[in-house]
Amino acid sequence: MSKSSRSSRREERAKERAHKGSKEGAKPPKSHLREWLDALVFAVIVVVIVRTIFFDLFRIPTPSMEKNLLVGDYLFVSKLNYGTRTPRTLGIPFTSIYLPGITFPGARLPGFGKVERGDAVVFNWPADVGKPIDRREHYIKRVMGLPGDTISVVRNVVVVNGDPIPLASGMQQMWLVRKTDPRVVLPASALLELGVSELSTSEDRSLVQISATTAAAEEIASWSYVESVQPALYESDPATDRLMYVKGRGWTPHDFGPLPIPFKGQTVTLTPENWPYYETVITRHEGHAAEALPDSTFRIDGVRAEAYTFAQDYFFMMGDNRDNSEDSRFWGYVPMDHLVGKAIFIYFSWDADRTLPRFGRLFSAVQ
């Protein structure tokens, strides 16, 4: 055999060994199941990151924001407006399961906007004690009082820094309708057209209580068989007083305050008069051991204190459906570290009574 033939055979055997080795070292192709699992894991990671940093989704569970937001509305909530919060707990995404006992200090990244009066805001319910902040129940209300404001409710009219803020479009409350004749029945079709779906009668058959917007109440007042339409107001009593954020003042949901709203860096002199306003803030929201002493002085973290400086901003929230809303009148201020984000638009809406989507509300802006 010639040298050239032997050389050629050696090259062929070398190529065969190299080819065989490459086949043995090559990874087997992924199965379809593995490809689906990889895609699913990637999608979950992306969704977790996006929902953690950029936005969240929220469903309206109660009628406290009607008529602007209805039960069954699904909202897109922007976390970027006020700044994204860093996680405080570790848990399973999209569930309420988390590791107890493991918490982080938490911080808020810079946002591109600030909280404005009238914003519809999703937040963690401050009265949901016993849980880390980011695991507390989610609420949605409207910002009525900003840090540094003084807020009151006078005969069911919100007053901020001395300026009355009447009900805006889509907000409703309870009204007393006095008819000229007790035998007259308010027409159901006309009430429905005005968006009035709740009404009740009393022992006085000439009086009917309705839940309606200001515009609807004014329209009903113009009917010839209606004598007057006035706000239905709570009277002060011990049972109502026990429900209010500040007790012992005779406040009601319709006559409340004045209540000062703390802001970050504000230093206040503590007095027996303002202690009921700030005790929950100092102890629950800012984490200090504080108490009022019998001699009308105060002790914070074991040290007598005459003044206190707040560590964050606070807000006063109210529902648009004023007489069917559990809000800051009952459980007080909402701290800045409880804010989740601003409700931007309705991406879906489901009418459970009709078992149909409300197509007209899809992708509409939150007012």
**Tens digit of each residue's pLDDT (9 = 90 or more) over 217-271:** 999 999 999 999 999 998 889 999 999 999 999 999 999 999 999 999 999 999 9
pLDDT over 90 at 138, yes or no:
yes
Neighbouring residues of 295: CB distance < 8 A, sequence distance ≥ 6: none
| 163, containing H or E segment | strand 163-165
pLDDT over 60 at 139, yes or no:
yes
The C-alpha atoms of residue 28 and residue 252 are separated, in whole angstroms, by 73
pLDDT at 125: 97
pLDDT at 258: 97
pLDDT at 25: 53
Question: Domain 40-149+315-367 class?
Answer: mainly beta
**Tens digit of each residue's pLDDT (9 = 90 or more) over 160-217:** 999 999 999 999 999 999 999 999 999 989 999 999 977 888 888 899 999 999 999 9
Nearest to 146 by CA among 264, 245, 55, 46: 264
Q: Which of 24-28, 94-98, 358-362 has the lowest mean pLDDT?
A: 24-28
pLDDT at 300: 97
- What residues does each domain of the chain span? 40-149+315-367, 172-231, 267-309
Greater pLDDT, 204 or 147? 147
Range 39-46 average pLDDT: 72
State the amino acid at position 88 in one-letter form: R
Q: Which of 53-57, 275-279, 304-308 has the lowest mean pLDDT?
A: 53-57
pLDDT over 60 at 333, yes or no:
yes
pLDDT at 16: 61
User: Is the CA virtual torsion 327, 330, 331, 332 positive or negative?
Assistant: positive
Q: What's the DSSP call for residue 284?
A: I
Q: Which of 31-40, 72-81, 229-238 has the lowest mean pLDDT?
A: 31-40
Nearest to 73 by CA among 124, 29, 122, 4: 122
| 334, containing H or E segment | strand 334-335
pLDDT at 10: 60
Is the CATH number of domain 172-231 3.30.70.100?
A: yes
Computed over every residue of the chain, the mean pLDDT equals: 90
The C-alpha atoms of residue 330 and residue 48 are separated, in whole angstroms, by 34
Range 301-326 average pLDDT: 96
**Tens digit of each residue's pLDDT (9 = 90 or more) over 211-232:** 999 999 999 999 999 999 999 9
Per DSSP, what are the bridge partners of residue 150? 260
SS3 353: coil
Q: Are 133 and 119 in contact (CB under 8 A)?
A: no
Per DSSP, what are the bridge partners of residue 243? none
The C-alpha atoms of residue 16 and residue 37 are separated, in whole angstroms, by 36
Range 313-335 average pLDDT: 97
The C-alpha atoms of residue 152 and residue 302 are separated, in whole angstroms, by 34
The C-alpha atoms of residue 67 and residue 171 are separated, in whole angstroms, by 6
Output the CA–CA distances (angstroms, integers) from residue 16 to 3, 12, 20, 242, in the order listed. 20, 6, 6, 90
